[in-house]
Structure 1
Amino acid sequence: MISKINSSIVLVFLFIITPVGSIFSQEEITKQELEEHIQFLANDSLKGRFPGTVENKMVVDYIKKDFTSNGIFSQFQEFTARLKADNSEVKTCNVIGFIEGNDPILKNEIIILGAHYDHLGVREGSIYNGADDNASGTAALLEIAEKVKANQKLLKRSILFIAFGAEEQGLLGSSYFVNHPTVALDSVKLMINMDMVGHLNEQNHVYMGGAGTFPGGMQLMDSLGMPNHVKPIVHAGSVAGSDHVSFYDKGISVLGIHTGGHDHYHKPTDDIENLNLAGEVKVANYIYNALMAIANSKREMKFIPQDD
């Protein structure tokens, strides 16, 4: 385990040079790798992953290197983010990975799995590390992508993995993507978003909105609970609060998944010590199995709008 430090930039560069993954993608999502990703992403030396900073760029490089090390085609999507605090503009990125499906027809249909990697930076001398918000989601994105790559032969549909920038500034990364898509937007059949998935409670509750936006979504997400040792709290609508909203507003089916609010939300105490890492393994496997159930099937995927 890599212990948390306050100032050693050397450790940050070591992480960037040597991502957790390797050219041999693993078939298991492990607590160790989730922990190592979050130790990097939520380290004090990254100063809260604020858009436009050197530290934010280090995170972008780390994510892309991890995709590449696992044999996943990846690219940067640079955009300009207008900051809430002073209305200034900075450059930041979405990081996109792509795994192609195998069915000659269905591979042209795309499922997106996303998570934002930015956080709040430094405020009044305190570092907001955002271990749950959203280092947890970014770590899950990397681990799930690695497992999907190891099982690519099973895929019918193709999958885009997107680490969004500047979510905390107003869903800017996802908004930029849907307005400047790297694939035909009408080919995107579902967007699954992970934002704060590191605080699984004692009841193993996994919360989600949008399950009613595609056929059979409610039943699918409920049925996968018991085999993955979680208890889904499934809502047909309740589409709000994070990057999946940008896709829903474009008429794309979505799932927004999280493990609930807590006292550390948007506070300097949102550190790795307060996460349930063993619980995040369960959540990541639940999401992986939902993703694969959709990507590996010929089920009809169409958008169903919801009232709430």
Structure 2
Amino acid sequence: MIVVLGVNFSTAQADITEKELEDHIIFLTSENKLGRYPGGKVNRKIVSYIIRDFKKSGIPAFNRSYKQTFKTKLRVKEGEEPKKEVKTWNVIGLIEGNEPILKNEYIVLGAHYDHLGMGGGPSSKSDNIAIHYGADDNASGTSALLEIAEKLMANKSDLKRSILLVAFGAEEQGLVGSRYFVENSVVPLSQIKLMINMDMVGRLNNENHVYMGGAGTFPGGMELMKELAPPLGLSPIVHAGSVGGSDHVSFYKKDISVLGIHTGGHPQYHTPEDTVEHINFEGQKLVSEYIYNAIMAVAGSDYKMEFIYQD
């Protein structure tokens, strides 16, 4: 029993399931999603899918609309002609806490849903012009977001702080969606106490390593993330700092505590070979439960939160 939590996880009414994680990733990596490039009809279909799933779980929009619209330039290799600016979206859901004062504080749980399209851009590690499916990067984080959101909503009565659920667009274009979010935040940034980012959480290895940066940016974060792991059989690699590489960076630059969580790199990263066949769904479920427990530890209690700068 982890005393710091003060939460009974056995009362969960909704389960995170391997099947639902897999179903989400199969949808997001299907051929007709063309690698989830920002802009256009395919982008709108993915946004609609995320919104439908939030609605299915009973998760309301923040401020009536789930969509936060922005425009982005598309990255090209040096020397290539610039591409036309496109419109895309962040998708935002809200689960309101119950404690009269603490419900005005927010935990952001985020993952980017976009990927590299047909490749060929500056981020692609392959010269092949082919669908870059992005099963791990970051259909895995998006599917975890939807499943954890469902479980949080089922256990809403246990929450003191509120949860903002954000599926970010255009991360692969330079963290554009998360940067837009913090520059146009739907709540005062001072009320966001922690941002947890999931980027590539589908490839848990045989040693059950979960990697994270930023655990030292809030009080007791290192200890908390280590304590939560053994009951799930996980072996966390916890860094106090090492904040870099994905959407949580945008929040850290605004003096907001962060956790950036992933299951490690692999040869298929940013290539057409990052496909659903490589996903460890049993492992992804464990990682999702781990993140859910971390959220409940902070949002389901009066856990002391303050920003701690890390070099």
Question: Structure 2 residue aligned with 1:168, among 172, 185, 191?
Answer: 172
The question of 1:187 aligning with 2:191 is answered: yes
Aligned equivalents of 1:263 and 1:245: distance in 2?
A: 24
Residue pair 1:198, 1:275 contacting (<8 A) in 2 also = yes
1:20 equivalent in structure 2: none
Aligned equivalents of 2:38 and 2:25: distance in 1?
A: 18
Question: Structure 2 residue aligned with 1:80, among 63, 71, 75?
Answer: 71
1:13 equivalent in structure 2: none
Q: CA RMSD in A?
A: 1.0
Aligned length, in residue pairs: 283
Moved more, 147-156 or 119-128: 119-128
Question: Structure 2 residue aligned with 1:155, among 153, 159, 162?
Answer: 159
1:4 equivalent in structure 2: none
1:109 equivalent in structure 2: 105
Q: What's the offset of the Cα at 1:187?
A: 0.3
Moved more, 165-174 or 62-71: 62-71
1:236 equivalent in structure 2: 240
Q: What's the offset of the Cα at 1:185?
A: 1.0
Q: What's the offset of the Cα at 1:102?
A: 0.3
1:21 equivalent in structure 2: none
Matches within 5 A, 1:256-271: 256-271=260-275
Question: Quick one: which amino acid aligns to residue 113 of structure 2?
Answer: Y
Question: Structure 2 residue aligned with 1:205, among 209, 229, 232?
Answer: 209
**TM-score normalised to structure 1 length:** 0.90
Q: Which runs of 5+ in 2 are unaligned?
A: 1-11, 77-81, 120-127
- Of structures 1 and 2, the one with the larger relative CO (CA 8 A, separation 6+) is 2
1:41 equivalent in structure 2: 28
Runs of 4+ in structure 1 over 6 Å off: none
Question: Quick one: which amino acid aligns to residue 57 of structure 2?
Answer: N
Aligned equivalents of 2:219 and 2:67: distance in 1?
A: 32
Q: 1:26 to 1:264 in 2, by over 3 A?
A: farther
Residue-by-residue CA offset, 1:238-265 (whole Å, 9 max, x unaligned): 0000000000000000000000000100
Question: Structure 2 residue aligned with 1:285, among 279, 286, 289?
Answer: 289
Q: Which runs of 5+ in 1 are unaligned?
A: 1-24
Moved more, 27-36 or 80-89: 80-89
Q: What's the offset of the Cα at 1:26?
A: 5.5
Aligned equivalents of 1:222 and 1:295: distance in 2?
A: 18
Residue pair 1:113, 1:193 contacting (<8 A) in 2 also = yes
Residue pair 1:117, 1:165 contacting (<8 A) in 2 also = yes
Q: Percent identity?
A: 62
Question: Quick one: which amino acid aligns to residue 194 of structure 2?
Answer: L
